[in-house]
Chain A
Amino acid sequence: MDEIDKTIINHLQKGFPICAAPYRQVARELGIDEANLLLRLETLLDDGVLTRFGPMYHAQQMGGALTLAALQVPEQRFAEITEIVNAFPEVAHNYARNHVLNMWFVLATERPEQVDAVIAAITAQTGLSVFNMPRISEYYVGLQLEA
């Protein structure tokens, strides 16, 4: 990853235009050519430096629901439970964390009632209690990591 890659990552975390040739517009803003930008983006995605590039949809604004949930997974079952949880398309993110509650995942569903259904299904398939922690208030969301 060189300085141009870092500039691309920082710039594209802020947004991306909706116009006929958006990469050309971004490339011009960054002072590189379009083919170079496209190639670098492809490499950053292939290498996993970027996990995704595109629209980020907000489940709640779509009329759906979003929640954070946690599990206490016995160490010897961690791989098995990870597979069960990740198989649900409603699981948008899942992180291992250093705590007794060692698996934390975000559910994003298209309809509000799906949250309870998915939690019930995860409980049934894992035999573990799910700690459901839907947000009560949102004070701030604005993740941007400087490369």
Chain B
Amino acid sequence: MQLDEIDRKIIQATQAGLPLVAEPYQAIAQQLGLTAELVMQRLVLMQADGVIRRIGAVPNHYKLGYRYNGMTVWDVADTHIDRLGAQVAGLNFVSHCYQRPRHLPDWPYNLFAMIHSKTEQEAERQIAVIAAMLGENARQHEVLYSSKILKKTGLRIAG
């Protein structure tokens, strides 16, 4: 989608968050010298085009009790990865699932699936379910748990 200057101004004004006031879009419009109708119209269009994934709340995993946030990584034959990736992505506990490039010899993994659990036991059960689904198609795997959030701001475009 081709963004114009108005879209960019709206993105810059909202990328850190929406104002917590009764009429937040009006507040943004006022700040930018636009009308609330135009701001809302542009947000609707950007959401329809996928420029805005969604408007909503982003929780801190740890504060909600999700202490086991694991990036599970698997070395899967490239010829089978699309089928297997789609299967793993269908598991209700997998939040993100991607194919990414290997960096041989240091990094042999090409399938990434994120899991989030409150207990170690639950995380291990989830990993076992993925391992069983991939079977012998996964030559090796590892789980990288996050130990700390170092930054979580989301996208920022410069002014």
**Contact surface of A with B, Cβ cutoff 8 Å:** 8-9, 12-16, 18-24, 34, 38, 41-42, 44-45, 47-59, 61-63, 68, 70, 82, 85-86, 89-99, 101, 103-105, 108, 110, 131, 133-147
B154 to A: closest C-beta gap in Å: 5
What residues on A are CB-neighbors of B51 within 8 Å?
A: 57-58, 61-62
A123 to B: closest C-beta gap in Å: 14
- CB<8 Å pairs between A and B, sample of 28: A12-B56, A12-B57, A20-B25, A23-B22, A38-B22, A44-B57, A45-B20, A51-B59, A55-B14, A62-B3, A70-B107, A90-B156, A92-B153, A93-B149, A96-B147, A97-B147, A99-B144, A104-B146, A105-B151, A131-B106, A133-B101, A136-B99, A136-B101, A137-B82, A140-B94, A140-B96, A142-B96, A147-B59
| Known contacts A57-B11, A61-B49, A143-B95; is-contact A16 B156 (Cβ 8 Å) | no
* Interface size class, chain B: 35 or more
Once the chains bind, are B59 and A57 in contact (CB under 8 Å)?
no
The number of residue pairs between A and B whose CB atoms lie closer than 8 Å in the complex comes to 244
Partner of A140, one of B16, B24, B89: B89
A105 to B23: give the CA distance in the assembly, Å: 35
What residues on B are CB-neighbors of A42 within 8 Å?
A: 20
